[in-house]
Amino acid sequence: DGPPPPRAWADRDPAAADRLTAARAVVAELSATHHVPAENLLQPDLLRRVCWAPPSPADAEHLAERLTAGGARPWQVALMAPRLAEAFAS
């Protein structure tokens, strides 16, 4: 059982919607920088799950644990966890 469709997030949990917007911007930036398709950086479902219910605290270490538990590869975790932590903090 996962999060609701992203189009419903703004009404159901505005903070989660903000996290998803920030996370998608990170993915788009890294995708362009590394010339890798966005969905290869992180499975879209895992990204949505982490944005909907982030770890507490949502720092790089705890995000790395959550991404690893969700099936992300080590290189994906190393690339994404610190950037998601920055995005979630702002």
Q: Tell me the CATH number at 46.
A: 1.10.150.80
Query: Is 5 domain-assigned?
Result: no
For residue 82, cis peptide bond before it (omega within 30 degrees of 0): no
Query: Is 73 domain-assigned?
Result: yes
Residue 82 has pLDDT above 90, yes or no: yes
What's phi and psi for 45, nearest 5 deg? Answer: -65, -40
Split into its structural domains, the chain has a count of: 1
pLDDT score for 60 = 98
What's the domain range around 39? Answer: 10-89
pLDDT tens across 40-78, in order?
Answer: 999 999 999 999 999 999 999 999 999 999 999 999 999
Percent of the chain with pLDDT over 90: 97
Query: Is 4 domain-assigned?
Result: no
